[in-house]
Amino acid sequence: MDDLTKLSLAETSELLARREISAREVAAAYLDRIEAVDPKVKAYINVNRDLALTMADEADRRLGSGQAGPLTGAPIGIKDVICIQGVPTTCGSRMLENFVPPYDATVIKKLKEAGAVFLGKLNMDEFAMGSSTENSAFHPTFNPWDLSRIPGGSSGGSAAAVAARTCVASLGSDTGGSIRQPASHCGVVGMKPTYGRVSRFGLVAFASSLDQIGPLTRDVRDCAMLMEAICGHDPSDSTSAPREAEPFTSSLEGPVNGIKVGVPREYFADGLSQEVAQAVNRALDTLRELGCELVEVELPHTKYAVATYYIIAPAEASSNLSRYDGVKYGFRAGEYEDLMDMYKKTRSQGFGAEVKRRIMIGTYALSSGFYDAYYRKASQVRTLIKQDFLRAFEKCDVIAGPVAPTTAFKIGEKASDPLQMYLSDIFTIPVNLAGVPGLSVPCGVDKDNLPVGLQLVSNYFREDILLKVAYNFERARGPMPDWPEP
């Protein structure tokens, strides 16, 4: 093979299984690619060369003994919000700059059991709070398609690394669109599973009722492969659904004739870029040509989703981030007069501006006299949004629409306007509030050759139909532009 980094996860797996290439060769190719390309993209916070090669050697032993699975030897990047024992986990924050977890997240245990190879930890918005990966305490990440633009967020490093071919696949987390939005902006496939489908044990919490781990990959088959490895019930996570992993890859094939695709008019309103709308409409035409039946559905409470999210998520963040006080672990201010001064200085110096903004919003929403007016009301509206989806799924199997209102915007373009930044997640946030699964699959490019994503959403635990529709669309869509060379 001329360049092993051009292979998909499925192609890499097949060659490894046939022993035509070794896991160490694959790992070395990706490590060399990181060295050549990542100084421009900056997708990684740290690269674990020695660990990666050690894991690759172990994968080769498995391959030689016939104990290998489809992910054995697969070089994967991990968002730096997921704990790996003995590997720094910073969450893109100075607060955890030197934190080394003493245990593995459940998804990490599963990937280790599958024989995957970990290349390093990927950059992100601090504590997963952001839509552009400009909020990382260490450095921004740049979009491989155009280095002057954002890759999306908060899993911007995870999406950019897949697009830049500095890992074959990656894990991200999605609280309000943080997998699907960067997947759309970077031209990769990204899935947020049903809430509870994938264990959150070892995922550093932002908003516990919304967070979910999911894969970012080059194509839909790769996404299904990674989903099979990370799903399943986990007694260590009280929110983990009592369902085992399903054979997602075996359900990809077969026609989609008669599948009803709901098109919500609320997702084609003011603020949607004309080029994004055109690409999504072409995708809908493709689905119709495949035999899907398009039906109009209503999601009337969509307009309240962003406001609802920015009460619930910051409220949960305010509670979750109270543990970072300079006492237990993590950053502690160097000079202080007493305990209260240490708390104040530690949290002032350790957190970035966006994290502090959301902690203050959340603390206010939970405070005495305001809880009923804000948090309780937001929880009630959240129920209405969930009911919107349930009613829509009585008429259709899958809902289709845009992932984001625009393609990737310029670095710094929205940094001084938090509201405009928040509105970039208007189509993804409702999916998290409802807890249903959503997926972004590339459906075209705009005039600047920037990718556009089609968002597909299905009912609870119907990732199988979501992946099947996406897989059939991907094959019918035809090839996207070649992967970028940053």
CATH number for the domain that contains residue 233: 3.90.1300.10
Closest CA to 171 of 151, 194, 154, 150: 154
pLDDT, position 2: 72
pLDDT, position 9: 98
Encode pLDDT of 100-127 as tens digits: 999 999 999 999 999 999 999 999 999 9
Model confidence band, residue 4 (pLDDT cutoffs 50, 70, 90): very high
**What is the chain's percent helix, strand, coil content, to nearest 5?**
45, 15, 40
Encode pLDDT of 133-168 as tens digits: 999 999 999 999 999 999 999 999 999 999 999 999
Encode pLDDT of 349-364 as tens digits: 999 999 999 999 999 9
With respect to residue 340, please indicate whether it lies within any of the assigned structural domains.
Answer: no
**HSE of 181 in the Cβ direction (CA atoms, 13 Å)?**
34
pLDDT, position 133: 98
Cβ neighbourhood burial of 377 (10 Å; 0-12, 13-18, 19+): middle
- % of the chain beyond a pLDDT of 90: 94
Q: Output the average pLDDT for the chain.
A: 96
CA distance 57 to 78: 19
pLDDT over 70 at 300, yes or no? yes
With respect to residue 130, please indicate whether it lies within any of the assigned structural domains.
Answer: yes
With respect to residue 358, please indicate whether it lies within any of the assigned structural domains.
Answer: no
Provide DSSP, 212-271: EEEEEESSHHHHHHHHHHHBS--TT-TT--S-----GGGGS-S--TT-EEEEEGGGGSTT
Largest CA distance in the chain: 70
What amino acid occupies position 181? Q
With respect to residue 203, please indicate whether it lies within any of the assigned structural domains.
Answer: yes
With respect to residue 348, please indicate whether it lies within any of the assigned structural domains.
Answer: no
Q: Residue range 28-49: average pLDDT?
A: 98
Q: Residue range 57-76: average pLDDT?
A: 96
Residue 191's SS3 state is: strand
With respect to residue 322, please indicate whether it lies within any of the assigned structural domains.
Answer: no
DSSP secondary structure code for residue 99 in this structure: -
The pTM for the full model equals 0.97
Encode pLDDT of 308-337 as tens digits: 999 999 999 999 999 999 998 899 999 999
CA distance 9 to 28: 16
Look up the domain containing 13 and give its range. 4-259+439-446+458-477
pLDDT over 70 at 1, yes or no? no
Give the Å distances, CA to CA, from 380 to 195, 363, 365, 366, 435: 19, 19, 14, 15, 15
pLDDT, position 253: 92
Radius of gyration of the chain (CA): 21
pLDDT, position 119: 98
Catalytic residues: 79, 154, 178
- % of the chain beyond a pLDDT of 70: 100
Give the Å distances, CA to CA, from 340 to 330, 333, 337, 465: 17, 12, 8, 53
With respect to residue 98, please indicate whether it lies within any of the assigned structural domains.
Answer: yes
Q: Residue range 472-476: average pLDDT?
A: 98
Give the chain's domain count. 1
With respect to residue 136, please indicate whether it lies within any of the assigned structural domains.
Answer: yes
CB 221 within 8 A of CB 249: yes
